[in-house]
A and B are shown apart, each in its own frame.
Chain A
Amino acid sequence: QQQVKQSPQSLIVQKGGISIINCAYENTAFDYFPWYQQFPGKGPALLIAIRPDVSEKKEGRFTISFNKSAKQFSLHIMDSQPGDSATYFCAASGNQFYFGTGTSLTVIP
């Protein structure tokens, strides 16, 4: 059973646009929700993370929106750049980390 569901599978955005990736979870015991960025041939790298006691967290062009009642959270990338082209994974953590299936983002110049 997939603990964390992620959509879309792939996303194409024009340079300067907003990229939005969504995740949903079922287990209310999860208490840490990170987003990872992965480039080909590299391991995932932490981008931004949120805990369920806040509804939004912003770091530069990256924002997490968190809806505890709906058990959903999303990543917004503002002013998307070609260098943002990568695969993005959401994750949820209780005792273990559970990752989504990933979103391949392509930002067109």
Chain B
Amino acid sequence: GAGVSQTPSNKVTEKGKYVELRCDPISGHTALYWYRQSLGQGPEFLIYFQGTGAADDSGLPNDRFFAVRPEGSVSTLKIQRTERGDSAVYLCASSSGAGYNEQFFGPGTRLTVL
């Protein structure tokens, strides 16, 4: 079956602009995670959804970052007033549940803020 997909694969924007990054998880997976990966670093946790609700958003760096998952499937990560420091690869992962369940990662969206 299809894996986790993310769109766009690349996004270039100007400082101060608003961006939306989309994640399509594996069908039937109730848990969805967003991570940010900077060059040469491991993924850094941003937010975790269980179903439609954000079960843990403690990794969001500030209030410019927001994520939704209105129907418990597709999720959108929204970044307002982008800054150059937001440039990174944004990874989405899904799993059939929390805890010990394997997380399946998408290919990521590379965001570049000029």
Contact = CB atoms under 8 A, between A and B. Distances in A.
Interface of A: 4, 6, 32, 34, 36, 41-46, 49, 51, 89, 91, 93, 95-102
Interface of B is mostly: loop
6 contacts: A34-B102, A36-B105, A41-B107, A43-B107, A89-B42, A96-B58
A101 B91 contact: no
Given A41-B107, A44-B105, A100 B42 contact: yes
Contacts, number: 50
B4 interface: yes
In the A-B complex, the 7 residue pairs with the smallest Cβ-Cβ separation, listed nearest first, are A43-B105, A99-B42, A89-B42, A96-B45, A99-B43, A44-B105, A46-B102
B59 A32 contact: no
Interface of A is mostly: strand
B85 interface: no
User: For chain B, which range describes its interface: under 10, 10 to 19, 20 to 34, or 35 or more residues?
Assistant: 20 to 34
Given A43-B108, A89-B43, A96 B100 contact: no
Given A89-B43, A97-B33, A45 B99 contact: no
